[in-house]
Copies of this chain bind each other. A is one copy, B any other.
Amino acid sequence: MTSKPKPRQTRQRAEILSALATAGDFRSAQQWHDVLRHESSTVGLATVYRALQSLAESGEVDAVVTDSGETLYRRCEAGDEHHHHLRCRRCGAAEEIDVPDFEAWATQLAATHGYSSIDHTVEITGLCGECAKATN
């Protein structure tokens, strides 16, 4: 059985985790890299990509893909309040929304099918008022 080796604790990895812990929102790998650079960290971009990728794989961070194809990451707050966004696919504006009972519903539904350790992604996109006007 090929088991994955567990990541080593390195300065870079610690800094990345720290950055993730500080800001709880979704940011692209490049944005996280920028954040680190501004904190006088010297992590390389590729390292950030590799770290986020591995963290996402092990479930320590959440990853979503935007309409433009960028992958965004944020720290995963297992079981924490978990809110979703309503995002304008044109101008990128986003507002937090509440999805009542969704968590409970999803967990129950999954259980019905024999699934456990449920996680979910709910992405709602549309055109905000202004962009709707601008579009014709």
A interface, CB within 8 angstroms of B: 1, 3-4, 57, 63, 65-71, 86, 88-89, 95, 97, 106, 109-110, 113-129, 132, 135-136
Cβ–Cβ contact B129 & A114, under 8 A: yes
Q: How far apart are the CA atoms of A135 and B121 in the complex, in Å?
A: 23
Q: How far apart are the CA atoms of A121 and B97 in the complex, in Å?
A: 15
Cβ–Cβ contact B123 & A109, under 8 A: no
- In-complex Cβ contact of A115 among B57, B70, B127 (8 A): B127
A129 — nearest CB in chain B belongs to which residue? Answer: B114
- In-complex Cβ contact of A116 among B66, B67, B124, B132 (8 A): B132
Cβ–Cβ contact B109 & A118, under 8 A: no
Given contacts A65-B67, A97-B109, A109-B97, contact A117 B127 (CB under 8 A): yes
Shortest A133–chain B CB gap in Å is: 10
The 4 tightest CB contacts between A and B, nearest first, are A114-B129, A69-B69, A115-B126, A118-B126
Cβ–Cβ contact B132 & A117, under 8 A: yes
Q: How far apart are the CA atoms of A23 and B134 in the complex, in Å?
A: 32
Q: How far apart are the CA atoms of A135 and B69 in the complex, in Å?
A: 25
Cβ–Cβ contact B122 & A110, under 8 A: no
List residues of chain B with CB within 8 A of the CB of A70. 69
Q: How far apart are the CA atoms of A136 and B125 in the complex, in Å?
A: 37
Cβ–Cβ contact B122 & A122, under 8 A: yes
